[in-house]
Amino acid sequence: MYDVVKSLHSYWAYLVLLILIIATVNAIFKTIGDKEYGANDFRKSLFALIVSHIQLLIGLVLYFVSPRLQLFSESGMGEIMKDSINRLYLIEHPLINIIAVALITIGYSKHKKKLTSSAKLKTIAIFYTIALVLFLSRIPWSTWLG
């Protein structure tokens, strides 16, 4: 089960990044260009929200079926924090990505309450950009691309 969930989590991440980049770049360019917010912008931001939440759920399942989780009882937190690979997989990657999904959720919720196009797009641009940077910062690139 672990290998299936791990593969799903890895491949779904490509979709999450693609959709999040599209939604973020769209919001940034429309903010800079002082364009109007439309139904297509709403769909892009909503789809980014949905795929990131699905990725979070897959990631949580992966976390709890991972053999690495046993390291907490075997080694303790101190040993995990000393090992950069275990720290990345058990602490940094899950925590930072939960924060990123929370930022996407907050940005999406806040943008719906704004009344003007520029305020809606600016809110999405800010929150989604921060979330994208956080996602990119904690991807285990060496194993993901290798």
Sorted by where each begins, the domain ranges of the chain are 2-144
Whole-prediction pTM value?
Answer: 0.91
What value does the mean pLDDT of the chain take? 92
The fraction of the chain above a pLDDT of 70, given in percent, is 98
- For 25, the enclosing helix (H) or strand (E) is helix 2-32
* Range list of H helices, 1-146: 2-32, 39-65, 71-74, 77-82, 84-87, 93-113, 117-137, 141-144
Integer Cα distance of 68 and 35 in angstroms: 48
What is the C-alpha to C-alpha distance for residues 97 and 39, in angstroms, rounded to an integer? 28
Cα 136 → chain centroid: 8
Residue 126, CA distances (Å) to 26, 78, 115, 117, 134 in order: 12, 35, 17, 14, 13
Mean pLDDT, to the nearest integer, of 64-86? Answer: 87
Q: How far apart are CA 67 and CA 139, in angstroms?
A: 19
pLDDT digits over 87-122, tens only?
899 999 999 999 999 999 999 999 999 999 899 999
Averaged pLDDT for residues 18-29: 97
